[in-house]
Amino acid sequence: MTQFDKSLDVTFRRQATGEIIGNLVSDPRPTPHGDRTKIVLIYGYKKEAAEKWEKSLPQTGEIWKCEEMRDTKSGDPHSGALLVRLVENLSLKLEQDKARRRVVLAPIYHALEDLSRLIEEQLARESLDSLAQTLRALAEDAAIRLGFTEAIKVFLHASGNTLPELRSLAKEKDPALATHPAWRIIEDLSQNGRVHKCCFEAVLAWLAKLRETGEMPTRKFVFSYDRFFQCPGCSAKVRLKPTEWDDFTSGKEISMECPVCNTAGVATK
């Protein structure tokens, strides 16, 4: 078993006694009797000597990438404990990735500023991040199907057309574009036409940036965590089978298809 094979994603919690207890997010190596549900402990950590621990320790609610060192009762999926070495704070990495993504998607966030004011109560920060990714996916899907010029022409009609009318126009250009999950997400967000206009201005902003840089988007499923990859079409998380994951980690190209929006592409880091 290689170090990569020993990788585990663990959610930790701190107890009032000073103990730090973890649970597997999911078990990449289940036993014949099912997933292991035993507790996870940090190898070498003792609450009595916590002040002597030189590296960072997990806070409650954080998810860490860990390396499995030992299973104290390997024959039983529910008894004993998994002893692990801390490798990386995935919660911190996730926040850093989000911050970088907000910089990259600055044109979209700028276009959504009015939207945040219009529906501030139901649009929490996490929802705004998710919406930005969805609008990016819609813009890139339109660019791939229609090219930059035609895609921009479609969404320029947003100011003078209702959402159903704009969707019908997209359907005339390419029926598959009108089935993108973003249309339903925008509709469910609000019935306010100004909200819809803000969303499509964000789509236009991203199309303009792509055209300016000459970056034609590709359909790549980007690795997220624990064999999950994010769909470029709708941002759903799609998981590779264990055998596919082994092939991916060995450097082979793996084809993927999203069960939500049927987007096809390849897995990438």
pLDDT digits (tens, 9 = 90+) for 26-78: 777 777 777 788 999 999 998 888 888 888 999 999 999 999 999 998 878 88
Is residue 231's pLDDT more than 70? yes
Work out the percent of the chain whose per-residue pLDDT is above 90.
31
- The reported pLDDT for the residue numbered 3 is 44
- The reported pLDDT for the residue numbered 122 is 55
Q: What is the pTM of this model?
A: 0.58
Q: Tokens 């991916």 identify what position?
A: 248
* Reported confidence tier of residue 171, pLDDT bands at 50, 70, 90: very high
Copy the structure tokens of residue 151: 């895609």
- The reported pLDDT for the residue numbered 126 is 54
Work out the percent of the chain whose per-residue pLDDT is above 70.
93
Instruction: For 123-155, write each residue's pLDDT tens digit.
Output: 555 578 888 888 988 898 899 889 999 999 999
Domain ranges of the chain: 7-90, 105-213, 220-268
Question: What is the average per-residue pLDDT within 108-114?
Answer: 84
**CATH classification code of 7-90:** 2.40.50
Q: φ and ψ at 119, to 5 degrees? A: -130, 50
